[in-house]
Chain A
Amino acid sequence: MAHVRVENLSISFGGIKAVDDVSFEVEDNTIFSIIGPNGSGKTTIFNMISGIYRPDSGRVTLDGEDLVGKRPDKIAKKGIARTFQNIQLFTNATVMDNIMLGRHIHMKTGVLGGAFMWGRSSPTAKEEVKNREIVEHIIDFLDLQSVRDQFVGNLPYGKRKLVELGRALALEPKVLLLDEPSAGMNTEEKDDLRIWIKDIQEDYRVTILLIEHDMNMVMGISDRILAINQGVKIVEGKPSEVQKHPEVIAAYLGEED
C-alpha cells in the first residue's frame, strides 16, 4: 500500500508564496502527474514531500503517517525515493556505486563489519554480493550494462538521468517522485523511458508522482493530473478532463501547439 495525501500545503520564500494551499491525493499504484509553467512550484512540492523543505503549513501523509518535520533520510526509510530535475548524482563514483547507494537503507554493514571483510564468506561480503545482484538487475532493466563501471561524471546527460532513476529504484520505494525525467532526452530515449515508467508502476508496483513538460508522455501514461500555476491549483482530474480545462490550455498547453 502506498497512499499519498497532501493537504493544504503552503510555503513561501521571502514573502512570495511558491506553493499556496495545494491539496491532492494519490491512490496506491497509480501514476500522478503535476504540470505547470516554469516556476509554478512543482519542484517545491517534491522538496516538501521528501523533507528537503519544511512547509509553512499543511500536511503530507503516507498511508496515514504524517511526514512533515521528518528528516529526508527518515522519509527515504519510509519508502519514498526521488530523482532531481537538475541531476544530483555522486559524480566521482561509478554507475554501480551510485546505484548501490540506493541499497544503503537495506544494508547493515557498519564500521567493524566493513573493515574486517575477510574473504567471500564474511557477512559483509555476502551482503555486498546479494545487493550487487539486485543492482545488476536494475542495470539490466535500464539498459546500462555498457556504462556499469564508468564514472558518472563522464556520462552523457540522458544516461545520467537513467542512473538517477536506477539509484531511486534501488531503494525499493513504495512511492517514486520523478522530476522531469525526460528533460534533455531525444525521442527514442523518451519512448524507452515511457515504457520503463509504466513497467515500474506495473511490475514493481510503485506509486509514481511525475513532473513532466512533455505533454505526450503526461497525457499518455498518467492516471490523474494536477495542473498548478504560480503555486495555486488550477484543476485536478483525469487526463481527458485536465486537457479540456480552459486555464490549462491558456497557461500551459497553449504554448505547446
Chain B
Amino acid sequence: MDMKRDYYEDIELFQSNTVFFWTVVLMACLFTLPLYVESYNIYLVNIILVHVIMAVGLNILVGYTGQISLGHAGFFAIGAYGTALISMHLHMPFVVSLIASGLIAAFFGFILGLPALRLEGPYLAIATLGFGLTIMHVIGRWEVFGGRMGITVPPLDMGVPGTPLSFVIEGDVKIYYLILVITILMVICARNLMKTRLGRAFVAIRDDDVAAEVMGVNLTVYKTLSFAVSAFYAGIAGGLYGYVVSFFDPFTFNLILSIIFLVMVVVGGLGSILGSVLGASLITYLQFDLLKNVEELPYLGDLLVLVSRKWLTVIGLANFSSIALGVIMICIVIFEPLGMFGIWIRIKKYWKTWPF
C-alpha cells in the first residue's frame, strides 16, 4: 500500500488524465458548436441544456435521495414565470431575476418537502402531482401571470432593463453560450454536492433512513433540503427555458412535462449526474427531432403511420412519441436498471479489457 495516499484524488473533478483530456475535447466541441450547426438545431441544443439542468436537479431528489416527484413542472413554471416577471416589473438584471426565481422555487420545494417527511411512495407521488397541477391552474387564473393567454418573455438583459446600463443578449447562438456556461456550472456544482457530505446524507436516506438517522442525519433537514436543492435547479432551468422559447402559457407546464422529466432521469440512470446529462439529451432529441420527423423515414415511416392509423389514432403519428418513450422506459427498467449510465459503464469496461 502506498503510504502517502492523496485523499483529494477521491473527490477531484478530473480523476485521471484521460478524463481531463476527454473533458477538454468535449468542451472544445461545445464551444465551437454554433460554427457548424444550423440555427434551428442550436435552438434544440438550448432546450437540451435546459433539460440537462432540470434532470440533474430532479435526479438529486429522485435518484440520490430516493423521493419521488410528479410535480417538477411546477417548479419549472415558477422559474419561468418568476424570471420573466421579475425582469419585466422590477427591471432587474438577468442574473438577479434568474437566481431570485431559483430561490423562490427552492422555497416552494422546501414547503413541498414537509409533507414528504411523512409520506412515502405512491402517497408522495400524489402529493407532488397535486402541487404541479395546482401551480399550473393558479398561474392560469391570475392576470399578473398573463392568464391562460400566456406571456411573452422580455429580452434577456444582462444589465438593468430600460436604462443606459441595459445590455441585451439576442439570438439563439448568444443565448446558447450563456446557457452553456450556466449548465456546466450547475452540473459541476451538483457533482461536487453529491461527492461530499450532503450527497452522502442523501444517499444514506435513500438506502436506509433508520440507519441514517441513527448515524446522526437529521431526516427533516436533509429531506427538505433535497427538495429545495432539486427545486432550485428546476427553477433555474425554467428561467432559462423562458428565454429560449420566448413565449409560454400555463399549459406548457402540464403533468406530461413532469413525467417526461422523470423519464429523462430514469432513462439516464438514477443516482448518476452523467446519466442525467445523457438522459436529458437523448429524450429531448427523440422528442423534438427524431420522432417529429419519423413520418419521413423511408418505409418505416409509412409502416408506422399505417399501424398508428389502424390501431392507435387517426391523426398520423401524434401519439407515437409518447409510445416510443414508454417503450424505452420499459426496456430500460427491464434490461438496464442503471440506465444509460449503466450502458456507459459497460462500454468503458469493455474497452478497458479490449483486446485482451
Contacts and interface: CB of A to CB of B under 8 A. Distances in A.
Interface of A: 50-52, 71-73, 76-77, 81-82, 84, 88-93, 96-97, 100-102, 104-105, 107-111, 113-117, 120, 124-125, 127-129, 132-133, 136, 145, 167-168, 171
Nearest to A100: B200
A128 B211 contact: no
Size bracket, chain B contacts: 35 or more
21 contacts: A52-B210, A73-B214, A73-B215, A81-B215, A82-B214, A90-B203, A92-B271, A96-B10, A101-B200, A101-B204, A104-B197, A104-B217, A105-B215, A111-B225, A114-B199, A115-B190, A116-B192, A117-B196, A125-B8, A128-B8, A129-B7
A89 B207 contact: yes
Contacts of A128: 7-8, 10-11, 196-197
A136 to B, nearest CB: 7
B192 A88 contact: no
B189 A116 contact: yes
Contacts of A136: 5, 7
Contact of B229 (A73, A92, A111): A111
B196 A104 contact: no
Contacts of B122: none
Contact of B211 (A88, A108, A129): A88
Interface in B202-247: 203-204, 206-208, 210-219, 225, 229
B211 A76 contact: no
A101 to B, nearest CB: 5
A114 B192 contact: yes
A120 B207 CA distance: 29
Nearest to A115: B189
A73 B10 contact: no
A73 B198 contact: no
Contact of A109 (B189, B198, B225): B198
A88 B208 contact: yes
A105 B5 CA distance: 24
Contacts of B8: 120, 125, 128-129
B216 A91 contact: no
A72 B214 contact: yes
A147 B282 CA distance: 35
Contacts of A109: 196-198
A191 B229 CA distance: 47
Contacts of B195: 117
B1 interface: yes
Contacts, number: 120
B306 interface: no
B100 interface: no
Interface in B166-209: 189-190, 192-193, 195-201, 203-204, 206-208
A92 B207 CA distance: 7
A110 to B, nearest CB: 7
A73 B7 contact: no
A76 B10 CA distance: 27
A102 B198 CA distance: 13
Nearest to B271: A92
Given A89-B207, A93-B207, A114-B193, A167 B10 contact: no
Given A92-B203, A114-B197, A117-B196, A72 B213 contact: yes
Contacts of A82: 214
A52 B214 CA distance: 8
A115 B192 CA distance: 5
A97 B207 CA distance: 12
Contacts of B213: 71-73, 76
Contact of B201 (A72, A84, A104): A104
Nearest to A145: B1
A175 to B, nearest CB: 13
B219 A73 contact: yes
A89 B193 CA distance: 21
Contacts of A92: 203, 206-207, 271
Contacts of B208: 88-91
Most chain A beta-carbon contacts within 10 A, residue among B1, B211, B271: B211
A73 B192 contact: no
Given A72-B214, A89-B208, A115-B189, 5 more contacts: A92-B207, A105-B215, A114-B193, A114-B196, A136-B5
Contacts of B198: 109-111, 114
A111 B206 CA distance: 18
A197 B229 CA distance: 41
A210 B345 CA distance: 42
Nearest to B193: A114
Contacts of B190: 115
B192 to A, nearest CB: 4
A133 to B, nearest CB: 6
A110 B218 CA distance: 13
A76 B271 CA distance: 27
A125 B200 contact: no
Contacts of A167: 215
Given A97-B200, A109-B196, A133-B7, A91 B214 contact: no
Contacts of A110: 198
B211 A90 contact: yes
A76 B216 contact: yes
A50 B229 CA distance: 30
Contact of A91 (B1, B12, B193, B207): B207
A104 B216 contact: yes
